[in-house]
Every structure is written in C-alpha cells, then in structure tokens.
Structure 1
Amino acid sequence: MSKQRKTGKIILLILAALLLLLLGAIGIFYLRINTPAALFTPDATAAPTPEPATPSAAPLQTPGAHSPTPEPAVTPEPTPAPMSEAELESLSDLSFMKNRVNIMVFGIDKSEEREASGSFRTDTMILVTVNFKTNAVDMISIPRDSYVQLYNKSGELIEPLDPYGKVNSAFSLGGGLKHGGYQSALNTVSALFGGIPVQYYVSVDMNAVKDVVNAMGGVEYDVDIEVTMNGRELHPGLQHLDGQAVLDYCRQRKGSSDVARADRQQRMLFAIFNQMKSTGQIANIPKIYTAVQSNIETNLSFEQICALALVAVRMDSAGLNRHMVPGEYMSLYARDCWCLHTLKLQELISDVFGAEVIVDPNADAEALKLYVGTNRLAIAAELSAGNRAYADAQYLLTNYKSSIPSAECSALQSAMSHLKTALRRESKGLLDLYTPPVRTLADSIWAGLGGMGAIPSGMADAVLQEEEESNTFSGSGGIHIG
C-alpha cells in the first residue's frame, strides 16, 4: 500500500472523529479496513497537524461528466463488515479513555489571503468534553466575542500591558496556523475555564460543513429564523436542507447575536448527529472524504480517534449535552464583547467536570463595568495627552502630507496606528509606550514645516471631534478614538 494511500486513510479516520465532534462520528464504526496496522507509521503517538493528502482513488464523477480515458476495469472488493465493538476497543488508546478528555473544535473562517498568511479566525469555538466512564459528551460553546485574557503557545500572556481581548483572536495573535496559533487558543480556553486542561483540537474549514452535508444527501431540519445571505433565503419551517443552506443557517448573524448563532450551530449538530445515527452514512463516506480531506487539522492520533469512535457507538443523543459560556453583551472599548458571568461559569464547570475552580474575577461583567469607569478617571491625563498627540498628527497628515518626507510620513502613520489602539483600549501601559513617539514625530515634522509653537489647537481639536463623530459607540467603555 503506497504511503499516499496510508495517509489518505488516516485522514479519512480523522474525518470520522470530526464527525463525532461536529456531526456525531457514527461513520467510524462502519469504516472497516482489512489491515489496520498498515495505517501506522512506527511512531503512532500524537503528531503535529498532518498535511492533507491527495486521494488515491479516482475522484467521484458528476453524472453526465465526460471521462477522457476510461480506467481498466477493476474487480470491486467486497464491502467490509462493520467493525465489532471489541475490535474497535482493541485499537483504541485505553490510557486516553481512562477518565475524561477535552477537545476544542474550531470552525475556521478561511480566505485566500488568510490562507497565505495562516492568520485564520476561529469563528466557531466549541469545547467538547468526553466522559469515557459514562459515555456522555458535553459541548460548551464559547462565543467568539468572549472578553478574556489571551495566552500564547508557551502559556504566557500575549500582551502583558493589555492582556484582555476577544477569545477568537488568540489563534491569530498567538501565531496563526504556522506558528502556534492552535496551542495559543488551547491555552487561552484552558485559562478561561479556570485551568481545566485542553490538549486536543479538531479544526475544520466552515466550507467543509457544506460538503459533508451534501455528501450525506442533506438533512431534515425545522428552521426557526429567516435567513438571508448573498441573495439566498431560508424561511421558517420543517424542510430538507442541502449543505449551502445548512452553512447559511449556521453562519446567519444579522438580526441576532453571536450567542444565538452558536445555539443554532449546536442544534444543527444535534440534528445531523441523529440523522447519521438513524441512517448510517456508509455509502457517503468516500464523498465526505473527498470533499473535506484538505480542510481538517487535528493533533489526535489514530488510537485516540478509535477511542472517540467507540464513544459514538455506545452513546445516544440523550448522552449529548450542550451548554453556553454564561455572560452578557457589553459595548466595551468601542466593540461589542461577551463579558462573562464568572460565578455561573464556575457552576457550569463544577456540573460538567466535577471540579471546583476559580475563573478570572477581573473578567466578570460587573467587574469590567466598574473597572472601565474608575480606570478612565485614573488615566485622564494620559488619555488627554494621547488624544492630543494623535489629533495633532492627523492634522499634519490631512493638511501637509505632500510636504512631509516619505520616511517621516510612514513612521508617523505607523506610530499613530499603535497609539490609536492604546486610546481605544484605554490602557495606561500602552499609552505610556505609544504617545511619546507620536508626540515627538509630530512636533519634529511641524518644526520642519516651519511651524511655530504648538500645532494649532483649534484645528487639532476639530480633527479630534471628527474622529469622535465618525465612531458610533454607546454604553460603558466609550473613548475618544474608536
């Protein structure tokens, strides 16, 4: 068996594990291979994210499509019998199955530009915890706007001077696809849950969900909202949805919140899980493999995938529980953020994991409301100085850009971008770091232009006012520059 085919079958099994987490994973139980040992390299421990393989089998033909050169006839092999539960257990990593395992499921928003840089956004984040003793699976959706401390792949704060941000930015700020973004996201989620360990991940391009559902032949679902996306529409009611309709339904955010969207995603996963359990999507496995093989990233080993498949075999939908990280939306630092109800989150952790932990009290919604107000008063002088430096620099660029040497102009614009972030974040540490360079550059450029004294404050104030009016903001955390 060629190395390419071995890799291809490994990825097929990884896909089946993804179906446990995202779609139920019942397919692995029916996936029978004659020589399981052929799937392994000598080191079968968890490895870095595998590269997607090119399928060794011929691609599925569209009905009516022309095939230039017919392949020689091949006698088909008999359809393999379902793997027995005992055999599946023999292939499973039993140490992995001792108690509980926690796996992050990411839905990645890809584009050509983001793929080139590896800076995808984790737009869907679900912590899946599998209890091997009870065969129960809990899914905890983490709103992507959750305002938490962000950690890098080494477990250190990404920005000690300004440690908080939206949870879905941990992946990109922590290094992205190529430089430790997944580990950064795992460390951030672990800290969010009070230190609950999260070692594993399965990541899928959201477009792959569409291909999976199409390969299943669609799904029956009772749509509960109006969906309008890129000219496509869905209306409430029980109906048969194809992959694109499922993707539109799961992505719809207009007219609702990210939390409501996460709830819809969970309910859709339940529906797909139940359909796969009832029908056994055996014939569609090759389609699913061909459709999504290049869109999966995971650090699960083959034995661990078998262990997850065993759970899928032994459980029913009653053992699949769904939750949401508790909190509320607040307009914080000119952005809508999901701010935690930390005591309720501690209760959820206790109920699901049986562990008593302390969730970061400074991330609590009430604590943030208090902090924003008191911090603004405490750093009023720094905010005023930063705003004035930024406004003066903006005045120079608006009125004299063509007269400013290009090197100085570029340096000023770069420094302004950092200062704008510091102002938006109302961070004293960042203001102390980024106000002086803008102030120094602006004064130097003004002097070089022959300006006398301070940059005209009336005009600078007018520019500042223009900046304020261009940014719509309400609620706690409003600042001068959005």
Structure 2
Amino acid sequence: MADNTRHRPRTAADRRGRRAPWQLALRVAAWGTSGALLLGCGATWYVYRSLTDGLTTSDALDAVRGKAPRHLDNSVNLLLIGLDSRKDMNGNDLPRQFVQTELHAGSSDIGYYNTNTLILMHIPADGGKVQAFSIPRDDYVQTLNGDGSVQGHYKIKEAYANAYTTAHDKYAAQGVKGADLEAKSREAGREATLATVQQFTGVPIDHFAEVNLLGFYDIAKVLQPITVCLKHPVRDRYSGANFPAGVQQLNARQALAFVRQRHGLDEGDLDRTRRQQAFISTVTHQLKSEGVWGSPSKLQGLFDVVKKDVVLDSSWNVLDFAQQAPNLTGGNVVFHTLPIEGFGMRNREDVNLVDPDKVKSIVQQAFGPAASPVPSASTTAVSSATVDVSNGNGRRGLASEALSALVKLGYTAGTTGNVAPRSVTTVRYGTGAGPAAQQIAGRLHAGTATAGSAVPAGHVAVTLGADYTPPGGQAPSPTATAAPSQSASASAADSGPAVQAGGVPCVN
C-alpha cells in the first residue's frame, strides 16, 4: 500500500504547530518577563503586607480636610503627636510597676490624654530642606473639636483630652463599652488636635502619627542604644534623668527620661522640646547609618512596634515614607520652636501667651505659599446676641470701651456696670446665646463661656477681670501676668536656637 502521508496538504493546525525560531524565542521571553513581573509583584505585595498588616490607622483627618488652604505643590505636612497617656490602645492602665520603674512616670492617673508633644514637619516637593516646628504644649489658644465647633481657650495640649472626655461620656451613655468606647473617644481627640493645630498654624495637615509613652519606650527599646549629647550634667528625680555632660549612649528607660525632663533645665518645657527634637534627629541618623530604611528585615522589628503602639492616618503609605525617610537625615531637617509672647494665668493654670497671627505668619512663610488665606477669628461671622459688660478690672470706663469694641464686631449693645475687682475675665450666657458667648470668650482670651441661669435669654454677660484682653488684641504683657512656672521659664517671644538635624545635636 502506497504511503500517501508525505503528500498530504498541510492543514491550519499544522501551520499553528510550527513556529519560526525567532517566534519561539519571543514567546519564551514574554513568558519569562511575565513570570518575573508576577513574582516581583507578588514579592513586593508579600513584603508590603507582612510589614504593614496590623497597623492601627485612623480616619481623623477626614474631619479637617479642606478647612485650611491647600498646597500649591506636592509638598507634605506631617504632624507628630506625642500622647502623655499611661494607658494601652484599649484604654487599660499600664501595669503600675512598669509605669513607675521603666517609664518613671508616676501613676497611671497622671497625664490623662494631653498631647505633650506636637511637631509639625513640612517636606518640600522638590526634596529641599525640611522645616519642622514644635508647638509648646502650654500655648494658650482657641481649641476646636473635629467639626470646627469651639471648645474655648485652653492649653493646646488639652484639645485632645477635652474632646476625648466629651465623646467618652456621649458614647458611654449610648451603651458603647470597652475597646470600642476607647477607640471612638480617642478618634474624637485626634480630630480635635488636628483641627486645633491646623487653625493655629494656618496650614493643612496631610498626615499624622500618634504615639504614647509606652510606644516611645518600645521604639527606643528596638533602637537602643541611642546616642545623645548634653551640654551640662543633669539630675532630676521627677523624670529619672541622671546623666553626665557630653556624648553618651542610653537604653530605652534612659531615653524616655531624656525626652521627658523639664525640671532643673534653664528653659523648662522649651528645653524639653529641644531634647525631643534632638532625639528625632539622632534616631533618623541612626536608622540611616544602620541601613534600616532599605532593609525589609530590619524594618520588620520597627514595624512590629509601630503596629502595637502607634496610630497612623489611614491615607499614609508607610513604605513610600520609608523610602523618603533617608532624605530627612544628613542635615536636611531644621527644628524650630514656635515663639511665645509671655506668660500668664488662665483657668487657674500657668500658660504660654501667644500671638496667633504671628504664628501663622511664621509657619506659612517657612512652609511656602498656600492657595488662599485662612480666615482669622476677627473675620469670622458673629453669632447674634446682646452683650452686657461689667467692669471688675478697676480701670475707669473699661466696660463701655469693651462693649463698644464688641458692638463694632457686630454684637448688640446691652448694659454696662461695675463689680468688685476680680482677677479673671468670665463670660456667661443665657438661653440661645451659647455660640456667641464662645466666640466672645475666644476674642477676649477668657477661657470657656458657661451657661448662667441669671443671664437673660439671648444675652451674653461679660465680667472683666485684671487679665482682660481687648477683642482681637494681644494678650497682656508678661509684666502684667503671673510669674512663669517651672514648665514655662523661657524668655518671652524667644523660641530659642534651632536644632539642626543630621547627627547628634548637643542640647541642655
């Protein structure tokens, strides 16, 4: 039988089954490239997930977005929040022995939810020098809630605690309990801090990170020993600081004492602020020199602590930041401390008196131009109310003068009178006049307005004290106020020398 197969015409299947050598090579290359890309993407995804899975994040920035001028470029403003709390993430007290021996921080009842560290950093879009401003914790400012409503005038560190307390009471009354109650209350505190700092500085906040005392200790434990430099020897029983002068290496317990000490320092809290700036400079320098930023395995230990103790905003890509972080070393960061105008007694507490307009000008000049100005308190629309003013200041004619100034701002004139001398200016309000009263209290730097049963509906009753400040005017000079306390013992209107990052700065 004849073999006819060699003469069979080639079918389409035959043609598809045979490829020219260059076609096969191209296909193999494509398969190889695709496989490499898939493996690479998979590895990147795995590294990202292993490092970031379990991070505690917050949506608090959603409450304040769009309430400050937007950037004109791709620069980033980052707020670092140090919470003076002796509690864990679920609101449980840290073990007493640990708080006393390792943190040297007294009782778990101390500190509450005050933000004792606030550092606002500006990272330029072009990779230029980073400008950072520490905000002294005792600055007496108008504090806000996350929705923009006014809390009153308090130390800036108290914005978080005030909002936390209000939210905690509200949610507890609704039956919320345990970790969920703590989380909701802290979120309110974060929103209030962001809103207050954003208004005070007049610039938008793009990202934030929050850490408490335990978190700082745990981070220091991962990074120890930490190199610091002191100009003078120090010994302080409150913080546990006991160090000689010069360059030295600290363990985690000592590092916490280093950044917490304020007693025994020439400039009290302001020197402590510079200690915190020096610590950040040292740590970023150390991380770069040890190659941590570029090593996923080295980052893992740091991220494990971050997952446990640090809260980051939900829009922050931490791996992107880790790639940018080396740019924050090598002298590329300059730390400043916002200036104060003097010292005073408000709400029966020693405070730093500040000029909000000056602060905005300093920060905005350093951070660069914004899209539009932030409305100041003097341009905010007034709420309707009739104002009655009583003079307890002692200066003749001051009640009429104060009422006239308030009328010019848009409030309705009521009555004036005199009362016995008093030291503190107070603002009370009748039914329906709460918003106006809070505005007026803010304009007069008079703390928080309170409801008064004897005040007629629609009226605000202002009683001027020795600390009276004209509406929209500057706070009284230091000579007219109480002597500064240990926590505010720096010269007025002097933020002190800048701390230049890029190594181990020597500080008091």
TM range (shorter): 0.5 to 0.7
C-alpha distance in structure 1 between counterparts of 2:155 and 2:137, whole Å:
7
Contact 1:373/1:477 (<8 A) preserved: no
Alpha carbons 2:228, 2:282 under 8 Å: kept: yes
**Contact 2:80 2:118 (8 Å CA) reproduced:** yes
1:153 counterpart SS class: coil
Separation of aligned partners in 2, 1:178 and 1:375: 48
Distance 1:360 1:145, change over 3 A: farther
Deviation at 1:310, TM superposition (A): 3.0
Which residue does the alignment assign to 1:115?
A: 91
Partner in structure 2 of residue 412 of structure 1:
none
Distance 1:359 1:263 in 2: 31
Q: Does 1:204 align with 2:180?
A: no
CA distance in structure 1 between the partners assigned to 2:257 and 2:304 by the alignment: 22
* Counterpart amino acid of residue 325 in structure 2: A
Distance 1:280 1:132, change over 3 A: same
Which residue is equivalent to 1:152?
A: 145
Runs of at least 5 residues in structure 2 that lack an aligned partner in the other structure: 1-40, 60-70, 94-110, 166-182, 379-390, 400-415, 425-444, 456-477, 483-508
Amino acid aligned to 2:80:
V
Please give the per-residue CA displacement for 1:74-101, whole angstroms capped at 9, x wherever unaligned: xxxxxxxxxxxxxxxxxxxxxx996112
The 1:374/1:292 distance shift into structure 2, 3 A limit, reads farther
Report the 3-state secondary structure (helix = DSSP H, G, I; strand = E; otherwise coil) of the residue aligned with 1:34.
helix
After superposition, the C-alpha distances for 1:43-92 in whole angstroms (9 at most, x for unaligned) are x9x99529xxxxxxxxxxxxxxxxxxxxxxxxxxxxxxxxxxxxxxxxxx
Correspondence 1:170 to 2:180: no
Partner deviation per Cα, 1:1-46 (whole Å, 9 max, x = no partner)? xxxxxxxxxxxxxxxxxxxxxxxxxxxxxxx9924168579xx9x9
Aligned pairs for 1:66-465 within 5 A:
99-112=74-87, 115-116=91-92, 120-158=113-151, 163-175=152-164, 178-179=184-185, 180-194=188-202, 196-225=203-232, 226-229=234-237, 233-256=242-265, 257-281=268-292, 282=295, 284-301=298-315, 304-314=317-327, 316-333=329-346, 334-342=348-356, 344-355=358-369, 378=399, 381=418, 429-430=449-450, 433=452
- Equivalent position of 1:34 in the other structure: 43
2:63 maps to 1:49: no
Instruction: For residues 315-369 of structure 1, give each alpha carbon's deviation from its aligned partner in whole angstroms, at most 9, with x where no partner exists.
Output: 543221211111144122232212224464244224322237579588xxxxxxx
| Shift in CA distance, 208/344, structure 1 to aligned 2, threshold 3 Å | same
Match for residue 439 of structure 1? Answer: none
Residues in 2 aligned to 1:327 and 1:385: alpha-carbon distance in whole angstroms: 26
Q: Distance in 1 between matches of 2:418 and 2:447?
A: 12
**Larger helix share, 1 or 2:** 1
What is the alpha-carbon distance in structure 2 between the residues aligned to residue 286 and residue 319 of structure 1?
26
Identity %: 21
CA contact (8 A) 1:192 1:359 kept: no
CA distance in 1, matches of 2:448, 2:57: 39
SS in 1 for 2:157: helix
Per-residue deviation, residues 194-233 of structure 1 (Å, max 9, x unmatched): 3x11243200112322322232231222123414245552
CA distance in 2, matches of 1:264, 1:184: 26
**How far has the Cα of 1:235 moved from its partner?**
2.1
Q: Secondary structure at the match of 1:327?
A: coil
Work out whether residues 219 and 241 of structure 1, in 8 Å CA contact, stay in contact via their aligned partners in 2.
Answer: yes
Question: Aligned partner of 1:175: which letter?
Answer: Y
Q: Are 1:135 and 1:319, in contact at CA under 8 Å, matched by a contact in 2?
A: yes
Structure 2: which amino acid aligns with 1:325?
Answer: L
Cα 1:426–1:266 change in 2 (3 A) is closer
Q: Is the 8 A contact 2:260 2:272 kept in 1?
A: yes
C-alpha displacement at 1:258, in angstroms? 1.4
The letter for the 2-side match of 1:156 is: S
What amino acid is aligned across from residue 142 of structure 1 in structure 2? I
Distance 2:255 2:42 in 1: 31
Structure 2 distance, partners of 1:373, 1:386, is 7
The one-letter amino acid paired with 1:188 is T
Letter in 1 for 2:257: D
Equivalent pair of 1:109/1:122 in contact (CA under 8 Å) = yes
- 238 and 98 in structure 1: CA distance in 2 versus 1, 3 angstrom threshold: same
CA-to-partner distance for each residue in 1:346-396, whole Å, 9 max, x for gaps?
Answer: 44224322237579588xxxxxxxx99689964985676999xxxxxxxxx
Tell me the distance in 2 between the aligned counterparts of 1:372 and 1:342. 26
Say if 1:280 and 1:187 are closer, same or farther in 2 by CA, change over 3 A.
same
SS in 2 for 1:138: strand
Q: Cα gap change, 1:426/1:184 in structure 2, threshold over 3 Å: closer, same or farther?
A: closer
| 2:440 alignment counterpart | none
Gaps of 5+ in 1: 1-31, 51-95, 363-370, 388-424, 437-473
SS of residue matched to 1:190: helix
Change (3 A) 1:221 1:107: same
- Which structure shows the bigger proportion of residues in strand conformation? 2
Measure how far apart 1:292 and its partner are. 4.6
The answer to whether the 8 Å contact 1:332/1:475 transfers is: no
Question: Aligned equivalents of 2:255 and 2:454: distance in 1?
Answer: 48
Measured in 2, the distance between the counterparts of 1:167 and 1:317 equals 31
When normalised by structure 2's length, the TM-score is 0.52
For residue 365 of structure 2, what is the amino acid of its counterpart?
A: D
Q: Distance between the aligned counterparts of 1:261 and 1:211, measured in 2? A: 20
Secondary structure at the residue paired with 2:236? strand
CA distance in structure 2 between the partners assigned to 1:253 and 1:335 by the alignment: 17
- Deviation (angstroms), 1:150: 0.7
Given that 1:327 and 1:338 are in contact with CA atoms closer than 8 Å, whether structure 2 keeps it comes out as yes
3-state secondary structure, aligned to 2:283? helix
- Partner SS for 2:122: strand
What SS does the corresponding residue of 1:297 show, helix, strand or coil? strand
